[in-house]
């Protein structure tokens, strides 16, 4: 598995502090957190202030995408999945518990990957610009919480993505997913289109999808049974 030993940007991840805080967290006998999780929108200007959520997110990404799914991705310090697209232009939507720990997250990128650009004629009207489009990658649910908590965190993140898009005039989300996951995305009720087959750099068969977002999208999610969590819910058993 490839590793990346280069130091991350200042304010990104302090490895020594992360290790010390992790040891203290394991030693503490904390009660289960039952406060309502919140969604954090983290961009370049806020990274230093949300280091707990970001560090927890990168650790969860490593456990999910590298350890569980065996994706060939770079790993920092043996604990964090951080790739070349985790650069200043990225925005992270993170569902975090009261202690700041990651429950669910997604990365939004203003520039689409080269593998998606060949589908542009199927996304935009002739002569239209690609303004209002964002690529969604690394949709990640924490492996450390209950299945019910994962479902609630997923639902909260879905509504968070839509709310974020509507507030920032994003009209279309683009993404690449495995075929079985693409079917789940299509079943969420929103306007989802398959753009075509694609192959990842690791040789996996993938599907390019586009999700159109407008003012009616929250109602479509609700109609498909995606509930917006509003009350406190337990994250651990």
CA dist 211 → 28, 126, 137, 168 (Å): 43, 19, 13, 16
Separation CA 48–CA 18 (nearest Å): 13
At residue 3, the pLDDT reads: 41
Closest C-alpha among 128, 140, 137, 158 to residue 200: 137
Residue 18 per-residue DSSP state: H
Beta bridge partners of 65: none
Do the beta carbons of residue 122 and residue 58 sit within 8 Å? no
At residue 132, the pLDDT reads: 85
Q: What is the pTM of this model?
A: 0.79
Domains and CATH numbers, the chain: 11-18+34-223 (3.40.630.30)
Token pair 């969860």 is found at 60
Sheet holding 38-42, edge to edge: 38-42, 91-96, 102-109, 133-141, 172-177, 205-212, 191-199
Separation CA 153–CA 176 (nearest Å): 21
Closest C-alpha among 45, 95, 8, 89 to residue 17: 8
State both tokens at 159: 């509504």
State both tokens at 12: 């990104």
Separation CA 35–CA 234 (nearest Å): 8
Do the beta carbons of residue 137 and residue 92 sit within 8 Å? no
State both tokens at 157: 């993140």
Separation CA 47–CA 91 (nearest Å): 10
At residue 152, the pLDDT reads: 94
Do the beta carbons of residue 232 and residue 34 sit within 8 Å? yes
Separation CA 99–CA 91 (nearest Å): 21
- pLDDT tens, per residue, the chain with 237 residues: 444 444 444 445 555 555 555 555 444 443 344 468 999 999 988 777 788 899 999 999 999 999 998 888 999 999 999 999 998 899 999 999 988 899 999 999 987 777 777 776 666 655 555 668 899 999 999 999 999 999 999 999 999 999 999 999 999 999 988 898 899 999 999 999 999 888 766 677 889 999 999 999 999 999 999 988 875 555 554
Do the beta carbons of residue 206 and residue 150 sit within 8 Å? no
């Amino acid at each position: 598995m490839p590793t990346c030993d280069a130091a991350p940007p200042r304010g990104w991840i302090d490895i020594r502090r992360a290790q010390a805080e992790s040891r203290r967290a394991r030693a503490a006998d904390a009660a289960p957190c039952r406060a309502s999780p919140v969604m954090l929108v983290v961009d370049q200007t806020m990274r230093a202030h949300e280091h707990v959520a970001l560090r927890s997110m990168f650790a969860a990404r490593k456990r999910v995408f590298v350890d569980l799914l065996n994706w060939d991705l770079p790993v920092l310090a043996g604990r964090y999945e951080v790739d070349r697209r985790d650069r200043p232009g990225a925005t992270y939507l993170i569902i975090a518990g009261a202690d700041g720990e990651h429950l669910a997250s997604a990365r939004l990128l203003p520039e689409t990957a080269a593998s998606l650009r060949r589908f542009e004629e199927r996304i935009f009207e002739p002569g239209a610009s690609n303004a209002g489009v964002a690529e969604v990658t690394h949709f990640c649910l924490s492996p450390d919480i209950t299945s019910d908590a994962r479902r609630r965190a997923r639902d909260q993140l879905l509504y968070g993505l839509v709310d974020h898009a509507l507030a920032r005039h994003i009209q279309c989300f683009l993404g690449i997913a495995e075929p079985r996951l693409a079917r789940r995305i299509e079943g969420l009720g929103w306007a989802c289109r398959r753009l075509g087959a694609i192959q990842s750099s690791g040789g996996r068969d993938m599907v390019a999808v586009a999700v159109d977002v407008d003012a009616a999208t929250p109602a479509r999610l609700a109609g498909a049974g995606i509930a917006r969590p509003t009350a406190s819910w337990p994250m651990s058993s």
